[in-house]
């Protein structure tokens, strides 16, 4: 007997009427985002709309599309627009409407600051649902590529060379134009070439001002650090009556450095070293604070600083008091310093910060060695912190850092695929980073809400 096969009548299939409710299960993320957005207070968004004009798309529709897009790795407004035609989930959120990509992009760009309030509202909903119980948090940062190429940047040394070269070319072109019987090459329009070079000189002058201003800020910070170290050395010599060994710290050198750079596409981004491949990219430094129990992001920040030594304060400050105050925070060695300790003390958070890189492959004698005696009260903060991390509580809190905040960053970059900002400037990139964290929280909230 021959085998029976199930075949499809495609002509008849095209005539079928399909309900969206049959395509989206009850626990689908699109349904969850629509239900959650309906519970948010969007009055601040509505007040931004003018009283006149044609019928506008409701903010909850555009917000839902962006949140679902970012939660599923679709960051392009053009792809989201196509999704309202081809993707059942996007079509459901849009209510069978089709906002164009310009509308979506303009909405995203216009309401970046309001996203911070929505970020907090979602966390409060998670608390009401019993999903978030703020206790211990973990902090970490990562580099995200800016919407700018490092090849569209100029170093200070190269800037000076270009400035000199262009001024010389302008002088030569002026001299060529003043000659009555000069042989001008075909296609060369002297006034246009002069105007083109003067425009470039103007842009280089703007870049020069910015680089020199950054150099002044760096010199001021270095000078304060130098004065502090010299004061500490002097105080130590006064107490001990002996000279301090070792080479004294070198005073800061003022002025721009040859390698200081300015990017013409996004001037507020910076060249940063990528720890993955040791290369240098045009990046922003993003930060998150993650609740160790729920893995929800409770605070986020962004800056153009290449390291994390000053990033704990803005990240902790971004945690809304409406959801409470964390009891403790785990941070890696890159955060250790007076600024982080001061920020934690100001917020009433007990810090657990690595003081250096732990050695690998410890022997069993080292792993199970007895806890040493506590350091004296006047011991340095580094010694006191190192002892605190050796306690049972310190090991438990800091040991959870790697399996809490680092997986969240990994999911954002590898699963969602967010590796480059779509918006330029530090303020706009910070708003987009809030959108990314908000979308991640909704996806995580959805996972925790369904058994």
Is the pLDDT confidence value at 344 over 90? yes
* Residue 52 belongs to some domain of the structure: yes
How far is residue 296's CA from residue 329's CA, in Å, rounded to a whole number? 14
Indicate the pTM of the whole model: 0.88
What residues form DSSP beta bridges with 272? 281
* pLDDT at residue 19 in the model: 85
Residues 163 and 219 in one domain: yes
Other beta carbons within 10 angstroms of residue 319's beta carbon come to 23
Domain count, the chain: 3
278-326 pLDDT per residue, tens: 678 899 999 999 999 999 999 999 999 988 989 999 999 999 999 999 9
Range of the domain at 67: 10-111
CB 169 within 8 A of CB 445: no
Mean pLDDT of the 207-221 span: 89
Residues 186 and 325 in one domain: no
111-139 pLDDT per residue, tens: 988 888 999 999 999 999 999 999 999 99
| CA angle at 11 for the pair 6 and 12, rounded to the nearest 5° | 70
* pLDDT at residue 249 in the model: 84
Residues 258 and 350 in one domain: no
* pLDDT at residue 130 in the model: 93
Residues 290 and 384 in one domain: yes
Is the pLDDT confidence value at 431 over 70? yes
Residues 366 and 296 in one domain: yes
Residues 99 and 234 in one domain: no
Residues 139 and 184 in one domain: no
How far is residue 398's CA from residue 241's CA, in Å, rounded to a whole number? 39
Residues 145 and 155 in one domain: no
* pLDDT at residue 438 in the model: 97
Q: Is 142 exposed, middle or buried (0-12, 13-18, 19+ CB in 10 A)?
A: buried
* pLDDT at residue 427 in the model: 94
* Residue 355 belongs to some domain of the structure: yes
List the structure tokens of 181: 């019987």
Residues 136 and 168 in one domain: no
- Considering only 77-81, 218-222, 431-435, 436-440, which range has the smallest mean pLDDT? 218-222
**Confidence band (pLDDT; 50, 70, 90) for 277?**
low
Give me the helices (H) in 338-425, please: 338-347, 364-367, 381-390, 392-399, 405-410
Computed over every residue of the chain, the mean pLDDT equals: 90
Residues 295 and 396 in one domain: yes
The CA-atom distances, in angstroms, between 450 and each of 37, 38, 82, 88, 443 are 18, 19, 29, 21, 11
* Residue 230 belongs to some domain of the structure: yes
Is the pLDDT confidence value at 103 over 70? yes
């Amino acid at each position: 007997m021959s085998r029976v096969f199930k075949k499809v009548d495609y002509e008849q299939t095209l005539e079928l009427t399909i309900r969206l409710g049959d395509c989206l299960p009850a626990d689908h993320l699109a349904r969850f985002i629509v239900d959650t957005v309906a519970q948010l207070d969007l009055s601040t968004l509505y007040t931004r709309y003018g009283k006149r004009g044609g019928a506008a798309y409701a903010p909850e529709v555009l917000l839902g599309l962006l949140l679902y897009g970012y939660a599923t790795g679709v960051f392009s407004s053009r792809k989201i627009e196509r999704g309202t035609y081809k993707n059942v989930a996007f079509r459901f959120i849009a209510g069978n409407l089709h906002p164009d990509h310009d509308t979506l992009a303009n909405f995203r760009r216009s309401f970046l600051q309001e996203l911070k309030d929505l970020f907090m509202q979602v966390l409060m909903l998670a608390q009401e649902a019993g999903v978030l119980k703020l206790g211990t948090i973990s902090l970490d940062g990562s580099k995200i590529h800016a919407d700018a190429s490092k090849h569209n940047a100029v170093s200070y040394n190269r800037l000076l060379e270009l400035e000199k070269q262009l001024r010389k070319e302008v002088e030569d072109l002026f001299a060529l134009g003043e000659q009555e019987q000069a042989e001008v090459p075909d296609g060369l329009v002297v006034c246009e070439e002069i105007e083109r070079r003067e425009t470039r000189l103007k842009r280089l002058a703007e870049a020069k001002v910015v680089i020199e201003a950054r150099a002044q800020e760096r010199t001021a910070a270095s000078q304060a650090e130098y004065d502090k170290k010299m004061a500490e050395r002097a105080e130590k010599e006064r107490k001990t009556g002996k000279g301090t060994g070792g080479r004294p710290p070198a005073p800061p050198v003022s002025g721009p450095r040859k390698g200081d750079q300015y990017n013409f596409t996004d001037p507020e981004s910076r060249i940063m070293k990528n720890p993955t491949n040791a290369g240098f990219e045009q990046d922003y430094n993003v930060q998150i604070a993650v609740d160790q129990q729920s893995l929800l992001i409770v605070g986020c920040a962004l800056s153009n600083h290449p390291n994390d030594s000053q990033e704990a304060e803005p990240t902790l400050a971004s945690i809304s008091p409406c959801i409470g105050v964390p009891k403790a925070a785990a941070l890696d060695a890159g955060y250790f310093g007076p600024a982080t300790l001061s920020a934690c003390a100001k917020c009433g958070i007990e810090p657990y910060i690595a003081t250096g890189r732990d050695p690998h492959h410890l022997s069993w004698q080292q792993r199970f060695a007895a806890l040493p005696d506590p350091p004296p009260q006047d011991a340095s903060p580094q010694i006191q912190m190192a002892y605190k991390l050796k306690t049972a509580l310190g090991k438990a809190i800091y040991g959870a850092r790697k399996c809490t905040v680092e997986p969240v960053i990994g999911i954002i970059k590898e699963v969602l695929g967010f590796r480059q900002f779509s918006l330029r400037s530090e303020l706009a990139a910070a708003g987009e980073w809030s959108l990314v964290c908000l979308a991640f929280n909704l996806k995580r909230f959805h996972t925790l809400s369904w058994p």
